[in-house]
Structure 1
Amino acid sequence: RYAALAREKAETADPERREELRKIAEICEWVPANAPRTFWEALQYYWFIHLGVTQELNTWDAFCPGRLDQHLYPFYQRGIKDGSLTRDQAVELLQCFWIKFNNQPAPPKVGVTAAESGTYTDFAQINTGGLKEEGSDGVNEVTYILLDVIEEMRLLQPSASIQVSKKNPDEFIKRAARIIRTGFGQPSVFNADLIVQELVRMGKSVTDARNGGSSGCVEVGAFGKEAYILTGYLNTVKILEITLNDGVDPRTGKQIGLQTGDPRSFKNFEDFFAAFERQLRHFIEIKIRGNQVIERLYAAYMPAPFLSLLIDDCIRKGKDYHNGGARYDSSYIQVVGLGTLTDAVTSIKFHIFDKKDLQMGELLDALETNFVSLERLRQLLLNRTPRYGNDDDYADHLMVRLSDVFMNLIDGRPNTRGGSYRVNFLPTTCHIYFGSVTGATPDGRIAWQPVSEGVSPVQGADHCGPTAVIKSVAKMDQVRTGGTLLNQKFIPQLLKDDEGLVRLVQLIRSYFTLDGHHIQFNVVDAQVLREAQLHPEQYRSLIVRVAGYSDYFCDLSKALQDEIIARTEHKAFS
């Protein structure tokens, strides 16, 4: 049909456009029925496949081209060598490819998703750089072309990322940094070497792991060989609130958790922590039991025959993608609010059980009243407590302990598809909604405000600079995760010259040497964001990094805008 339409339009087109339309018709007659032979055919082949998958599923399922520079490079080399392709032609074709992604509609959003954003459409992510499957440097000329296209097009979709390995040249990261400093939140940055370790630990072959990467936001998988499905978000801060109320949700007054005891009766910190862990286990069990049913419903009533043709081993096994057909099967649970949870638990340990300058009853009364008439106590919690994100071992040790608990309770649990449950730390925009249903917390956060996002510190709590942040976050054993999301916000002046770019490259290298998984940057002045709130008509094109995606700032909810503004604005690297 596409070929026929192109030939029909060619009849009335001018000579130059006529030749172009005839070429389009020839390509559409060849792919996807046959293997692509040229760079243009390869892009068209993929786009037909993408449309088929997203129509069968939906565009929120983050069907991604994967390692696009690795896939396209042989076609590019061949075209350059035989003279059938120039670099400029490759750039133009990729720009058209970007426009197709950006115009791909998403299903109508409802409820929470509709409240937070009116624009994000397709969670496809383009991975660039990284490693070849034999383990050597994967950066090539197409990698740099893709970076040029990302900078030139400046579109929300497809989302773009770079995979950084020790084997990649610094110039590759520096080229990406030049795009980052323009301030639209792309590309995000991933640790290619750690991704390989993560995937191998999950049971993938080394070759499949090197060919893998990040899809959607930050979750990792073996491209073309794995069904890795996000099962929903876990409000860890709410579970803490329920623990502090003996299993009752104070927002509704209902007993929805276990009766783990009146916190006033806890004799020491370990009593409190054991109660929280019991409560957490309870809700994780509910979550997994519910998801097991959902997986069986998908297998029975929502098969994906077209996608199953594309994912390795579905045909060999004679099983659908949703029923264990893929070579690897992972079910991810997204942990939300780690920074807020860490600071809240730190406050309890530090003030109630170690310094003993606060009684549990006093704290619970303050939380119940949302710190009304208790601002002095709130300031004590906010400003006289060790905070995660400042390379302070007191708080960071508790972050590590909490993250280990999540991974111990979830990682490796069997799903119904022959695979396992894994943990990742990403919120998308759920940290806004989760905060809106969670009361005041022991870190001084007032009721209904957003909780922290990803593995980032609480907004505004990291006051020792980005170097301290990465040292704190890297204390987590991130190889046990399936992805972590770290946001950083810099003022534009910090990256205005070449020295700033070099320092940014060094920061990324340092974090990845410490085995960090992912980092991304908003390079924007908070005052500009405040002006955009007041005069949105003047800032319609302002793009910011939200979570694992970028969005138009003026299309975000007021709560999400405020949360982005509240993120610590770093003015120096240390």
Structure 2
Amino acid sequence: MYLGKSLDDARACDIASGCVEAGTAGKEAYVLTGYLNIPKVLELALHRGYDAYTGQVVGIDVGDPLQFASYDDLWQAFLKELKYVVDVKIAGNNLIERLYMDSMPVPLLSVITDDCIAKGKDYNAGGARYNTSYIQCVGIATITDSLAALEQQVFEQRRFTMEDIITACDRDFDGDDALLDVLLHHTPKYGNDDDYADAILHDVDRALQMTIAGRSTPKGSKTVVEFLPTTCHVYFGQVMGASPNGRRAHIPLPDGISPEKGADTHGPTAVIKSCAKLEQLKTGGALLNQKFTPSVVACPKGLACLAALVRSYFTMDGHHIQFNVVDRETLLDAQRHPEQYENLIVRVAGYSDYFNNLDKALQDEIINRTEQRFGA
């Protein structure tokens, strides 16, 4: 209903669509318009719009980061870069949407979707009762932890300068072991019910909503924020250098709203409490992956804890949670001996696939997810 559906349509027609999206069946044209790499926006802001991966200036110059006198200066620079990137993204979306409106009608979808016939408009031209365009945001854990590290270590504790961290990131922390240890193990991290980090999560979430949500499109769609990576989090990590949270260069970003791998050290309950601070009712979907070893849920107590975890998360207005129940050694052995694991299925993002079907980068991303357990 927050996204504009009537109470009757929300109750009668809501379905799980695609990976995690909630759609109004037979009454809505909802279109995924591609992905937004949120931590890449910060990377551009810290390099005055220059992208080291392509060797080109692809963003805008939001000021010399070495001259930022406060965290607010950094935050305002990020917001300016974000607006520019989103404006470019939406301009591209609108161009594609006009092509669909003018040249790619879908008569069958139009016949079976409410209000298209009454309006005399094609499904791709705004004929459906509800029209929604999703921008799929990726890497919110990385941007949250990166901003938390910069705020605390540079502007509050002044343990490092902005130049120290940017230079270390540019050389992938080569020779910066002490700095890397602080970033990885001594700064607040999203996924631990840590108010310091989660307050930044809330700020980033609000910024995305203010910059993206409600933007109009040529056919009259309402643009909506969604946190769904499919497999794009792997590619997005590959085209990035190291991040101020200690993430190494070219390593995959976290999937959906899942915490950075290895950062969630306080158990699954802390994870869902952090995730619930995201205003998920305002999104088109927010994917959360968790991983448990089989031994954790092998007994009735473990299964009861898992069920309670799911119910608690939904009570806090969580949108989606899913699980891999497999241990790290099994996955590593499956990499070494794929012929012995032809039927091994894993949860990737919002979907499942055979482990052997995945490329090594995606296999490694799943292997490196935090293995959770319940307290004694």
Flag whether TM exceeds 0.5 (same fold).
yes
Residue 75 of structure 2: which of 252, 269, 273 is its match?
Answer: 273
Specify the alignment match of 2:202 in structure 1.
Answer: 400
Specify the alignment match of 1:321 in structure 2.
Answer: 123
Normalised by the size of structure 2, how large is the TM-score?
0.98
Counterpart mapping for 1:175-214 below 5 A: 200-210=1-11, 211-214=13-16
CA root-mean-square deviation: 1.0
Give 1:354 deviation, angstroms: 1.0
Residue 457 of structure 1: which of 259, 273, 279 is its match?
Answer: 259
Specify the alignment match of 2:302 in structure 1.
Answer: 500
Residues 37 and 138, structure 2, Cα contact 8 Å, conserved in 1:
yes
Distance 1:440 1:465 in 2: 26
Specify the alignment match of 2:358 in structure 1.
Answer: 556
Residues 467 and 573, structure 1, Cα contact 8 Å, conserved in 2:
no
Residue 538 of structure 1: which of 331, 335, 340 is its match?
Answer: 340
Distance 1:264 1:387 in 2: 24
Distance 2:350 2:42 in 1: 26
Residues 348 and 366, structure 2, Cα contact 8 Å, conserved in 1:
yes
Distance 1:497 1:441 in 2: 40
Paired residue secondary structure (1:398):
helix
Write out per-residue CA displacement over residues 361-380 of structure 1, whole angstroms, 9 at most, x where no aligned residue.
Answer: 11111111111111221111
Paired residue secondary structure (1:461):
coil
Write out per-residue CA displacement over residues 445-487 of structure 1, whole angstroms, 9 at most, x where no aligned residue.
Answer: 1111101110110011101000000000001111111110000
Segments ≥4 residues shifted beyond 4 Å: none
Specify the alignment match of 2:33 in structure 1.
Answer: 231
Residues 268 and 373, structure 2, Cα contact 8 Å, conserved in 1:
no
The one-letter code sitting in structure 2 at the alignment partner of 1:235 is N
Give 1:214 deviation, angstroms: 2.0
Distance 1:462 1:372 in 2: 25
Specify the alignment match of 1:311 in structure 2.
Answer: 113
Paired residue secondary structure (2:321):
strand
Matched, 1:490 2:302: no
Distance 1:252 1:546 in 2: 28
Residues 466 and 573, structure 1, Cα contact 8 Å, conserved in 2:
no
Distance 1:220 1:254 in 2: 38
Paired residue secondary structure (1:201):
coil
Matched, 1:516 2:318: yes
The one-letter code sitting in structure 2 at the alignment partner of 1:373 is G
The one-letter code sitting in structure 1 at the alignment partner of 2:79 is E
In structure 2, stretches of 5+ residues that fail to align are none
Matched, 1:473 2:275: yes
Residues 31 and 134, structure 2, Cα contact 8 Å, conserved in 1:
yes
CA 1:573–1:513: 2 relative to 1, 3 Å: farther
Residues 168 and 176, structure 2, Cα contact 8 Å, conserved in 1:
yes
Counterpart mapping for 1:55-454 below 5 A: 200-210=1-11, 211-454=13-256
Specify the alignment match of 1:165 in structure 2.
Answer: none
CA 1:295–1:573: 2 relative to 1, 3 Å: farther
Distance 2:118 2:22 in 1: 24
Residues 478 and 484, structure 1, Cα contact 8 Å, conserved in 2:
yes
Distance 1:228 1:338 in 2: 23
The one-letter code sitting in structure 1 at the alignment partner of 2:344 is L
Write out per-residue CA displacement over residues 129-177 of structure 1, whole angstroms, 9 at most, x where no aligned residue.
Answer: xxxxxxxxxxxxxxxxxxxxxxxxxxxxxxxxxxxxxxxxxxxxxxxxx
Give 1:418 deviation, angstroms: 1.8
Write out per-residue CA displacement over residues 504-539 of structure 1, whole angstroms, 9 at most, x where no aligned residue.
Answer: 111111111111111001001111000001111100
Residues 116 and 129, structure 2, Cα contact 8 Å, conserved in 1:
yes
Distance 1:418 1:235 in 2: 25
Distance 1:459 1:316 in 2: 50
Q: Which moved more, 1:351-360 or 1:500-509?
A: 500-509
Specify the alignment match of 1:63 in structure 2.
Answer: none
Distance 1:213 1:350 in 2: 42
The one-letter code sitting in structure 2 at the alignment partner of 1:535 is H
Paired residue secondary structure (2:290):
strand
Give 1:573 deviation, angstroms: 5.3
Q: Which has the larger radius of gyration?
A: 1
Specify the alignment match of 2:371 in structure 1.
Answer: 569
Distance 1:501 1:374 in 2: 43
Distance 1:540 1:345 in 2: 42
Give 1:551 deviation, angstroms: 0.4
Residues 305 and 374, structure 2, Cα contact 8 Å, conserved in 1:
no
The one-letter code sitting in structure 2 at the alignment partner of 1:359 is T
Distance 1:277 1:465 in 2: 32
Give 1:359 deviation, angstroms: 0.5
Write out per-residue CA displacement over residues 275-327 of structure 1, whole angstroms, 9 at most, x where no aligned residue.
Answer: 01100000100111111111110011111001111111111111100001100
Give 1:571 deviation, angstroms: 2.2
The one-letter code sitting in structure 1 at the alignment partner of 2:357 is D
The one-letter code sitting in structure 1 at the alignment partner of 2:7 is V
In structure 1, stretches of 5+ residues that fail to align are 1-199
Residues 294 and 326, structure 2, Cα contact 8 Å, conserved in 1:
yes
Distance 1:494 1:546 in 2: 20
Paired residue secondary structure (2:192):
coil
Paired residue secondary structure (1:273):
helix
The one-letter code sitting in structure 2 at the alignment partner of 1:206 is L
Distance 1:247 1:206 in 2: 45
